[in-house]
Amino acid sequence: MFNSKPTLLAKTLVILLSFMGLLLAEQAIAAAKDQITARLEPTGKVCVFGEDCAKGMKVPGAAPSAPKTPESVYNTYCQACHAKGVNNAPTFGDAKLWAPHIAKGKDVLYQSALNGFNNGAMPQRGTCADCSDDDIKATVDYLVSAAKK
């Protein structure tokens, strides 16, 4: 069925196909070049404070992380034991359980919370190592007032 003299149509087809092949090859090369330039870009772009890309950037040592509130300290540390009464920890908001503690006076409670109490059953600072004394005292106040409601 193939005769030795290719028809004009066959010739045109061959030429067209080769052009298409060239086009495809060119596209592939262009894509590869894009990838290479992308890979050659510096991994860490320098972003200067004040530029748009630096929005939300934190200055080291400047603003401290969110200030502690009695609630946040309680929720992060104290509730581990005081929410359910682990090791007989007085349960949050339970007036009856807190009454004998409250009867000791706030200063004693502050000291128990700061230094630990009952051989560490109530741990020093309630495990909040980076709480200031005032943070701990405020959290004790928060526990006490919740138990008085």
Is 147 among the residues that bind ligand HEC (CB under 6 A)? Answer: no
Q: How far is CA 110 from the centre of its chain?
A: 32
Q: How far is CA 48 from the centre of its chain?
A: 23
CB of 63 to ligand HEC, least distance (A): 24
CA angle at 78 for the pair 74 and 84, rounded to the nearest 5°: 110
Is 117 among the residues that bind ligand HEC (CB under 6 A)? Answer: yes
Is residue 112 within 8 A of residue 122, CB to CB? The reply is yes
CA distance 142 to 110: 12
Of the two residues 26 and 133, which places its CB atom closer to ligand HEC in the complex? 133
> Segment contacting ligand HEC (CB under 6 A): 16-24, 28-36, 49-57, 110-118?
110-118
Is 127 among the residues that bind ligand HEC (CB under 6 A)? Answer: yes
Residues 6 or more apart in contact with residue 149 via CB below 8 angstroms: 93, 95
Of the two residues 80 and 146, which places its CB atom closer to ligand HEC in the complex? 80
Contact pattern from residue 67 through residue 106 relative to ligand HEC, giving x for each residue in contact according to CB under 6 A and a dash for the rest = ------x---xx-xxx---xxxxx----------x--x--
Phi, psi of 56 (to 5 degrees): 85, 0
Which residues would be at the binding site for ligand HEC (CB under 6 A)? Answer: 73, 77-78, 80-82, 86-90, 101, 104, 108-109, 112-113, 117-118, 121-123, 126-128, 136, 139-140, 143
